Amino acid sequence: MITQEHLAGFLLMHAGFRAEFGRLAEACRAPRDREHEELLEEQLALLLEMLHAHHTHEDTTLWPTLVAHAPEAGDALAELESEHAVLDPLVAVAADRAAPLPERVPALRRLHELVNEHLDHEERTAVPLMLRHLTPDDIEADRRKAMADFGRRVPIVFGWLVSSADPALLTAAFADLPVVARLMFRLFWWPAYQRRFARLYGASISLPAPLES
């Protein structure tokens, strides 16, 4: 039996996806210069890669685990999987570097809407099943898988997630982070991400209160 806190990492990824397509859609309308274009391309590629990894993990691991426990939920989970496939053509347009960024803005806007609708649906349908059927071991395996997907980009991914989530979720997600990682985040990763965020979006962002100590 797990609690809502166990799902904080999963929901933190959702918060990141919910925020970033909208930010990118806005910023890609008129990149300042070549350097800004490159940074936007890099951020977009990272976001699409993380979305792909998240969906693949759901389709190949999480949903089959839930269906094994609750066969009656098979149709509802198959529907969530089919929504992943609906997003794919838009992801392909958004990722196509042959088109200039401003031409990809409509695809990014649509992705922003559809990803948010999909996550609403998933949080209504799959999260209650996850709470009922996943074990702490399942959650630990998910955490390891996510860290492997982040790879060397952990500092940027953490910055992106923290820039996207509300304080309650951050408190839960960072609760069992080792002290050293919290310190690294505060001293190095977050200041670097603040600079990245300013270059990407021309706006400043401050450290959320739950992470100040």
Q: How far apart are CA 154 and CA 146, in angstroms?
A: 10
- Residue number, 24 or 142, with CB nearest to Fe ion: 142
178: left (phi over 0), alpha (psi -120 to 50) or beta: beta
- Angle at which helix 136-150 crosses helix 154-162, to 10 degrees, equals 110
Per-residue exposure over 33-43, b if at least 16 CB sit within 10 Å of its own CB, e if not? eeebeebbeeb
What's the closest the beta carbon of residue 103 comes to Fe ion, in angstroms?
A: 27
Looking up tokens 């909208």, which residue turns up? 22
Site track for Fe ion across 98-137, x = CB under 5 A: ------------------------x---------------
What's the closest the beta carbon of residue 75 comes to Fe ion, in angstroms?
A: 16
- Residue number, 9 or 159, with CB nearest to Fe ion: 9
What's the closest the beta carbon of residue 187 comes to Fe ion, in angstroms?
A: 31
- Residue number, 20 or 58, with CB nearest to Fe ion: 58
Site for Fe ion in 157-176 (CB under 5 A): none
Amino acid at 112: H
Cβ–Cβ contacts within 10 Å for residue 122, how many?
19
| Among 54-62, 155-163, 166-174, 189-197, the segment contacting Fe ion (CB under 5 A) | 54-62
Applying CB under 5 A, which residues contact Fe ion?
58, 122
